[in-house]
Amino acid sequence: MLFIIFVIFAPIAVWLILHLMSRQKNGEDTDASKEPIELCAICQEEFPMSQLLEKEVGGYGRVYCFCGQCIENLYHEYQNTTDIKTGE
């Protein structure tokens, strides 16, 4: 009788432990995957992926990430160069 109880409850206990462990692991995974950190290719500062723009640069399929501040700086730089050219 004791053997039958053990056979029935042992898998349930193991399943419960595994279930709790996987739930903890999943919680950590979702927290970590929610905001993956990447480097901006220009200023080399770390940003969460949601604040970066991913662009394939060149013919090698290399993907670079750019932060909003650098994109804004590039935009202003471009605006300044075109303003000077059109102003002349």
What residues make contact with Zn ion under the rule CB under 5 A?
40, 42-43, 67, 70
Closer Cβ to Zn ion, 56 or 83, answer by number:
56
Tokens read off for 47: 């940003």
Smallest distance from Zn ion to CB 71, Å: 8
Closer Cβ to Zn ion, 21 or 43, answer by number:
43
Give residue 35's Cα distance to chain centre. Answer: 5
Nearest to 64 by CA among 85, 47, 77: 47
Q: Which residue has the tokens 């949601």?
A: 50
Smallest distance from Zn ion to CB 38, Å: 11
Nearest position to Zn ion, beta carbon? 40
CA angle 23, 29, 30 (to 5 degrees): 90
Smallest distance from Zn ion to CB 60, Å: 21
